[in-house]
Amino acid sequence: MSRQIKYRIDGEQVVGPYSATQPGVVHGLTNDETSQVEIQIVDDGIESNWSNPVSVKPYFEPPEPPALWHGWWDHRVNKSSRLPSDLVPYTNIGKSMERNISSIVDDGVAVIAQLGKVKETTQAQRKSRLAGLESGYFPSGAYVPIIHFVDEPINHENIDPRDLEDLADYGRSIYGNKYKYAYTINSGELYYPTDRPDSDYPQNFDYVFHQTYPYRNEGGSSFLRSIGNTKSELFASLDLRLQTLRQKIPESKFFIVGQGFYGGKYNEPAADAPLWFMEWCLENTDYVHGLLWWKYFDSKSWTAVENMPAYLEKIKQAHAMIPS
């Protein structure tokens, strides 16, 4: 017997018929929209009646990720503050600090989208924002591999770790495997208090971003949170952080947020720190999937990379270390 399959999608027959060697694979679906699919079986040239329509949404197969994601935490701050175009070739991903991601999409790189307002809203409001994020804020052609939920939630009185876990599960229930989910913790949340139970950390997120910032002039020496200007000291600090992250949040992978600023309690980073951060990340890609820089734009408290030209050149060189 020779069997073939024909499809009608939203009332129109697609190119075919197709071989029946891949049952269950619907050819011709486009975009990410739900379609009405009808099937006709053709056995030895004899056509069956068309089936009743079934609602089908395409399975999303994400592109192959790079060896390491690399970009800026503040690629987009707001409408008027965005990474200069001449720096875009030294990135493969960019993070928006607001829900609007249009300028990063225009730059042609992958996007870490921001859910936002998690700390000041109820769980029902958070779910509503998450459900509306794609339709309301992701322009056509956007490639968004990661949705970032919240910065530094561990000590915030309005955020229960189980609520964040529930929110990640809710995202998966409506978007399937299309996005990975992330939150961020700083050094204090990672190490203090030392007896913090692992249950304080949401456990079902794909990624945890960790703000490192080890070039400091106060505190933290017992946990290598404050280091000198040698490669070995930075590697030791990052090794301890990764060991602790894996212990406390064993099912997640991690992004390192590298220090690209100084001022106040923070010293100017070592001149070659971007190369060292990158080298360490590339040596640990079983667990570390990305390196983001905070920050490009100056603020009242900190001098940032926009006014650290030699450091910026090292970040460009670091990007070239990523295997193609």
What is the pLDDT averaged over residues 41-47? 79
Cα separation, 63 vs 165, in Å, equals 26
Helix orientation angle between 273-283 and 309-319, rounded to the nearest 10 degrees: 20
Q: What is the bridge-based pairing of β-strands 35-43 and 46-47?
A: antiparallel
What is the pLDDT averaged over residues 44-73? 81
Q: Looking at residue 14, what is its pLDDT?
A: 65
Cα separation, 249 vs 287, in Å, equals 11
Does residue 18 or residue 121 have the better pLDDT? 121
Which pLDDT band, with edges at 50, 70 and 90, does 11 fall under?
Answer: confident
How many residues are given for the chain?
A: 324
Q: Looking at residue 155, what is its pLDDT?
A: 79
What is the pLDDT averaged over residues 295-317? 97
Q: Looking at residue 115, what is its pLDDT?
A: 96
Closest by alpha carbon to 26, among 49, 57, 48? 57
Secondary structure in 3-state letters for 72-116? EEEEEEECCEECCHHHHHHCCEEEECCCCCHHHHHHCCEEEEECC
Domains of the chain: 3-56 (no CATH), 69-319 (3.20.20.80)
Q: Are 54 and 16 in contact (CB under 8 A)?
A: no
Q: Looking at residue 55, what is its pLDDT?
A: 73
Residue 38 sits at φ, ψ, to 5 deg, of -115, 150
Mean pLDDT of the chain: 89
Closest by alpha carbon to 155, among 125, 128, 126, 191? 191
Which pLDDT band, with edges at 50, 70 and 90, does 28 fall under?
Answer: low
- Report the alpha-carbon angle 195-199-203, nearest 5: 130
Alpha-carbon radius of gyration of the chain: 23
Specify the pTM: 0.82
Cα separation, 17 vs 29, in Å, equals 15
Q: Are 110 and 69 in contact (CB under 8 A)?
A: yes
pLDDT in tens, 150-202: 999 987 888 999 999 999 999 999 999 899 999 999 988 988 766 788 899 99
pLDDT in tens, 118-146: 999 999 999 999 999 998 999 988 999 99
